[in-house]
Structure 1
Amino acid sequence: MAPAILSRGICLRVKASTRPRPPFASLVQRCNARRESSNSSYSPQGLGPGSARWYPWRVGAGWDSTPVVADGTRYRSRDRLAWILRANRAYASAIDFRSLQTFARGFAGGSRSGTISASQVSRWETGQSRISAEVFARYEEMLGLQPALLSSLAHALLRYSGSRVGATALEKAQVLSEDDVHDRLDILLDLLLSNAHMSGSTWDELSYHLITHPSIFLPRGVWVAMTERLLSEVIIAEGIAWFQRFEALSRIMGHPRGQQAAIAACVALANDPTNQVFMEPLSVLDCTRHRDANGHIKSQLINPTNSQALRGALLATVRKVRDHHFDDSDLTYLFDILVQHVSDESSHLSARPLASEILRMMPAEVTSHRSRALERALRDDRVLSQVLRSGRIAQAHVTAATVNRVCAAAIGSMSGDLPTVKLESVLAALVDEMLHSPISDIRLMAAQTIAATPFRYPVADGLMLELSNRETVASPVLGTAILGALPFVGRAKHRLIVERLALHGRLPTDIANAAVWAYAHMEGRGRTTFWQQALTAHLAASRSTPSRLADQTLSGLIYGLGVENRRDILAPISNDPRYPVAARKAAVWWLGISQHRRASART
């Protein structure tokens, strides 16, 4: 029997397989054999100040840890997941399934074996019973939902609300034997190293096996190839495919050997000025305490590559402060940097409230003696002052009318019985977070939670009514928040309204900028006539009134064309001297993404 491998309180035994192997020499088997022959043990290197101990990866470890706070009521991650199940069943297209008894009788089969009672369904849907991955899968099958829609969102919610790096919080009922895990890894790694298509579910399975079997040894070169390819697909993936890849990258960030390669890949991409996507490679560093990740986030806060990189670093800092990745000396130093960003009126509209929220989260002993500097930075700015006081961009009693209008419009258009008080109250909390949280990750999670239920399009229609209000368009903070939610909840028909806002007023404006960036990810595909009109208008604006906002909006148009793979428009831009050098380089970068990689990232 192979020797046990010890690592900081965790003991895993790697045994040789007795099953006949296929002709392809197993990479996993060779790597483990090499490791056993060296008789070496390992432990994670470079952990930050909050990680004196390496926690073993335990399925379900992230359940309900660090609940996300909604206005007025604390809705934990398990409450939100229970709400998703109930909302989908209560408004199912198959009317019979709206009955607990009928739904329970039909639950056996597919991804779930064995019968259940109506009371079990009720416990899942009220958060009284833990929900496994197979339960989410069975709900998807029975209700005709897109595969992995619920489970991928559940992974994201539990990861963001938890603090244990790399933990996979959803239980899987079917546990593979060690031999079966090795066989599956053999197949998955062969796909990876042969540059074959890797679907989102493939990345999910690969990262799950690696994080739940951390004693399996892979050469550094394999980790490098894996993380570089995964990151290259994360930054161009959409929808569920993006969810699955981002969660896979987050898991690898928690692997004792894989984390260094993952961090290095993210750092290299974020430091590359020719790169066009900065949010993901920086914000994903929020899940690791490794000193290299902490150091890079601090570097980007001090000297960001661009405005996108600054926002990505600020997003990572939110969880790093919350989960104590930085020590007191780091926080004291970062305080001055954050005050500078709060004071920078030329920065991106969302950057200043985000920096203010991080300051609010810092321990009092770090900030108490520096209150005068902060007061000067917040002088005469109601939004930033409100964020620092309450963690909201506006007072709850002021925003309640907007939330109530959106929810009333959504509920009024739903067929079937009126929602329960719990369904309605959670929906109101999610809409409130989606529109009024200073943290864009929380806004994104709230929007994606709504999007995973039948409330999706009715809420979007309610948001469209708000955008038709002149006061909303005149309020950059609320208007941009609504536009930021549309890529997740909106319909294809809503593109026409966003097109008008992208060309509205004396350009450039914050609303037009937000509309351009939102347009890139909305359901459907952009009209060629709009792309041409928008390019003409915003190019003229950037030439007549040069500003950071004008450059950001033009970059957003190139980004949208890249996301849609509009090579017919990007190719002429790359050689057109009328466009700024940065825009031409951006077009070249998007044109350089191979069609093979795009096809793999969209599955």
Structure 2
Amino acid sequence: MPAELTPAPARRRGRPQRLPEDPHTVASGQVGCDQRIAWLLSVNRVLGPDPDLARRDGFIAALRENGVAVDASRVSRWESGLQPLPSRVVATYEQVLGLSSGSLVSVAAGLRRSFGSGPTPRENALSDTEMSDAELNRLIDLTEAGNATGADWLRLADHLSRFDRVFLREQDWTALCHELVTELGSAVGAGYVRRYEAAAAFIRHTNARRHLIMAIGRFVTHPDAQVVAPVLNLLSEVPDPAAAALTLRMLAADTDNIYLRRAASSVAAVKLARGHFDDAALPRLESHVLGALRRGESLDGRLDSFDLAVRLPASSWQQVTGGLRTRRAHGLVEQARQGDELVPSARAASVVAELAPSIQAATPTHQAQDPDLMLRRLLREALLHSHKPRRHHAALLIAASPYAPAAARLLLDLAADTNDLMAARAWTVLMRLGDGGRRDRVVELAAKEERPTIRARALVNAGLGGAMTSEQNRAITAGYDERRSLERHATLFALGMAGAPELGELADHPDPETQRAAKWWLTQGPAIHDADVAR
């Protein structure tokens, strides 16, 4: 239990945060973090199931019933993006609109943290009142026992972040961080996003950082670990030398785990963009990029290394280009370095021009709506931006909006596209959006897809959906081939997250790698779907 909590000193209010925009993918530099968060609140109100709350006067009345006295002018400012919104305002929207606690707060906090200096501690607080000691004790007991939801983790992190110093016993910090990191390996949807934001708060806290980095290291370096990226991504959140050193170690060419190298490449790209590496790290990053680009894989297969190549300083990129064997790899990276998209601008615009109106038309509304330009922008970024954090956060914004079900259904159609890159990108966005109520279709496609890299992503989506029927478990297992590492890994992910009984059989498989992976999943447990999040 906390022996002492030292309050954080008051800080001056920060400037409104702006998401850096690239001129090739957007028309204006004025659509930043604040505007995106305002859009998220607005569409959840206007396109929500309650027609009274969709009207501004009805929403204001509901706010007043919940003890929040505001007028139309203030709500207008909240939903225009003209000022940063404190987390407690976002939490108020969740409460009034009947959304899961932290479902919007976590998405907004992640966006601000990733693309700006973030709000001040006062703005970041979920409420104006502090947690009681009894409630703090309850939350710590709940989290250590593995019985906490993502909302519980978020509340605990919010409380601890109010203090510069939080003194817990060593074993308490170790237990908390171990449990949180382990849950990140299996949590899905809003449950994962809320836990990730809690972990991001932990890793930025002076007292928790060392313990969380150690927990990350133990988890991802386990010789049989089957889930790496959702945990390793936390190293991108801080410029801590230990985090940079661990990232470079995971990136090393002699690392046996290909999935660990890919995840480390993605983290390195983010850390490089955020200035977390010194010049001494550049030769190692250059060497990794050169090796990845020379292997001749498809663009989708080397996307994490591609992202890192795009973020390299100009001098480092020149060093890499001298060692490339083909001009194709050079041309793809140059295109992204100039335009920050994976495909030519005209192709990106064409894809979104077809998707966005269909998604908007398939989303229920209480009144006629104008074309949603923000939806178009987010779809384009989620599918085709060259930088993974931009793709990730754009997808999370859509996933937290009422557009998510329709977007998921239409992207599932795109996932069957004959173009490998577009199909793979659609499946990846679906990992954030869910299946849109087409769970059986996801499993069907995963079982019959013949393209290895596309099948792997489809299998991951099947696993993220949780438990499958006995027939579906057998269909997924029927395609298992231990000789193909990519599909072996993805199949075991699907079965592991589904908690399929076939894992027990695979734990006795003659292939040693299959045995170890199946046993790891039996220890890790199935997907965590928070009970307070609608599925």
TM-score after normalising by structure 2? 0.89
1:556 aligned partner: 490
1:139 aligned partner: 93
Contact 1:71 1:432 in 2 (8 A): no
- Is 1:459 the counterpart of 2:403? The answer is no
2:309 aligned partner: 359
Task: Pick from 252, 267, 277 the counterpart of residue 316 of structure 1.
Answer: 267
Task: Pick from 522, 529, 554 the counterpart of residue 471 of structure 2.
Answer: 529
Contact 2:57 2:72 in 1 (8 A): yes
2:33 aligned partner: 77
- 1:586–1:167 Cα change, 3 Å: farther
1:150 aligned partner: 104
Contact 2:189 2:433 in 1 (8 A): no
1:91 aligned partner: 47
* Partner deviation per Cα, 1:458-498 (whole Å, 9 max, x = no partner): 22233234345xxx2x2211101111122333446433433
SS at structure 2 position matched to 1:373: coil
- 1:170–1:127 Cα change, 3 Å: same
Contact 1:28 1:186 in 2 (8 A): no
Quote the Cα distance in structure 2 between the aligned partners of 1:85 and 1:66.
18
Code of the residue aligned with 1:122 in structure 2: it is S
Code of the residue aligned with 1:482 in structure 2: it is A
- Is 1:478 the counterpart of 2:422? The answer is yes
1:49 aligned partner: none
1:517 aligned partner: 460
Task: Pick from 162, 166, 173 the counterpart of residue 223 of structure 1.
Answer: 173
Per the TM alignment, residue 382 of structure 1 is displaced from its structure 2 partner at its CA by 5.7
- Is 1:344 the counterpart of 2:299? The answer is no
2:204 aligned partner: 254
1:50 aligned partner: none
Per the TM alignment, residue 389 of structure 1 is displaced from its structure 2 partner at its CA by 3.5
Quote the Cα distance in structure 2 between the aligned partners of 1:62 and 1:495.
43
Code of the residue aligned with 1:281 in structure 2: it is V
Contact 1:357 1:388 in 2 (8 A): no
Code of the residue aligned with 2:462 in structure 1: it is Y
SS at structure 2 position matched to 1:215: strand
Per the TM alignment, residue 325 of structure 1 is displaced from its structure 2 partner at its CA by 0.8
1:244 aligned partner: 194
- Is 1:28 the counterpart of 2:16? The answer is no
- Is 1:201 the counterpart of 2:156? The answer is no
1:9 aligned partner: none
Per the TM alignment, residue 100 of structure 1 is displaced from its structure 2 partner at its CA by 1.7
1:104 aligned partner: 60
2:514 aligned partner: 583
Per the TM alignment, residue 236 of structure 1 is displaced from its structure 2 partner at its CA by 1.4
- Is 1:569 the counterpart of 2:502? The answer is yes
Contact 1:167 1:254 in 2 (8 A): no
2:217 aligned partner: 267
Per the TM alignment, residue 429 of structure 1 is displaced from its structure 2 partner at its CA by 0.8
Code of the residue aligned with 2:158 in structure 1: it is Y
Contact 1:155 1:247 in 2 (8 A): yes
SS at structure 2 position matched to 1:392: coil
Code of the residue aligned with 1:593 in structure 2: it is Q
Quote the Cα distance in structure 2 between the aligned partners of 1:528 and 1:182.
46
Contact 2:456 2:491 in 1 (8 A): no
2:71 aligned partner: 117
Structure 2, unaligned runs of 5 or more:
none
> How many residues are treated as equivalent by the alignment?
527
Per the TM alignment, residue 101 of structure 1 is displaced from its structure 2 partner at its CA by 2.2
Per the TM alignment, residue 574 of structure 1 is displaced from its structure 2 partner at its CA by 1.0
Quote the Cα distance in structure 2 between the aligned partners of 1:306 and 1:459.
34
SS at structure 2 position matched to 1:149: coil
2:386 aligned partner: 438
Contact 2:125 2:158 in 1 (8 A): no
* Partner deviation per Cα, 1:548-589 (whole Å, 9 max, x = no partner): xx22112211111211222x2211121133xx3222211111
SS at structure 2 position matched to 1:157: helix
Task: Pick from 8, 17, 22 the counterpart of residue 64 of structure 1.
Answer: 17
Code of the residue aligned with 2:82 in structure 1: it is Q
Contact 1:487 1:518 in 2 (8 A): yes
Quote the Cα distance in structure 2 between the aligned partners of 1:310 and 1:63.
36
Quote the Cα distance in structure 1 between the aligned partners of 2:362 and 2:352.
16
Per the TM alignment, residue 105 of structure 1 is displaced from its structure 2 partner at its CA by 2.3
SS at structure 2 position matched to 1:345: coil
- 1:574–1:59 Cα change, 3 Å: farther
Quote the Cα distance in structure 2 between the aligned partners of 1:56 and 1:337.
42
Code of the residue aligned with 1:477 in structure 2: it is L
Quote the Cα distance in structure 2 between the aligned partners of 1:57 and 1:552.
50
Contact 1:191 1:197 in 2 (8 A): yes
Identity, % of aligned positions? 22
Contact 2:404 2:436 in 1 (8 A): no
Per the TM alignment, residue 309 of structure 1 is displaced from its structure 2 partner at its CA by 1.1
2:242 aligned partner: 292
Per the TM alignment, residue 149 of structure 1 is displaced from its structure 2 partner at its CA by 1.7
The structure with the largest alpha-carbon Rg is: 1
* Partner deviation per Cα, 1:193-243 (whole Å, 9 max, x = no partner): 5x3622322221222222220223223332222211111111112222222
- 1:189–1:513 Cα change, 3 Å: closer
Quote the Cα distance in structure 1 between the aligned partners of 2:12 and 2:261.
33
- 1:56–1:479 Cα change, 3 Å: farther
- Is 1:333 the counterpart of 2:333? The answer is no
Per the TM alignment, residue 164 of structure 1 is displaced from its structure 2 partner at its CA by 6.6
Quote the Cα distance in structure 2 between the aligned partners of 1:59 and 1:234.
33
- 1:275–1:461 Cα change, 3 Å: closer
Quote the Cα distance in structure 2 between the aligned partners of 1:389 and 1:365.
15
- Is 1:162 the counterpart of 2:111? The answer is no
Contact 2:452 2:486 in 1 (8 A): no
SS at structure 2 position matched to 1:205: helix
* Partner deviation per Cα, 1:88-140 (whole Å, 9 max, x = no partner): 12222222222222222221233xx3321112111111102332333223322
Per the TM alignment, residue 68 of structure 1 is displaced from its structure 2 partner at its CA by 6.0
Per the TM alignment, residue 384 of structure 1 is displaced from its structure 2 partner at its CA by 4.2
Per the TM alignment, residue 432 of structure 1 is displaced from its structure 2 partner at its CA by 0.6
* Partner deviation per Cα, 1:348-391 (whole Å, 9 max, x = no partner): 864523323322223324434554225x3553676445334322
Quote the Cα distance in structure 2 between the aligned partners of 1:283 and 1:136.
25
Code of the residue aligned with 1:136 in structure 2: it is V
Per the TM alignment, residue 428 of structure 1 is displaced from its structure 2 partner at its CA by 0.4
Code of the residue aligned with 1:71 in structure 2: it is V
Quote the Cα distance in structure 2 between the aligned partners of 1:327 and 1:57.
31
Code of the residue aligned with 1:572 in structure 2: it is E
Matches within 5 A, 1:586-601: 586-593=517-524
Code of the residue aligned with 1:119 in structure 2: it is S
Code of the residue aligned with 2:472 in structure 1: it is F
2:441 aligned partner: 497
- 1:525–1:168 Cα change, 3 Å: farther
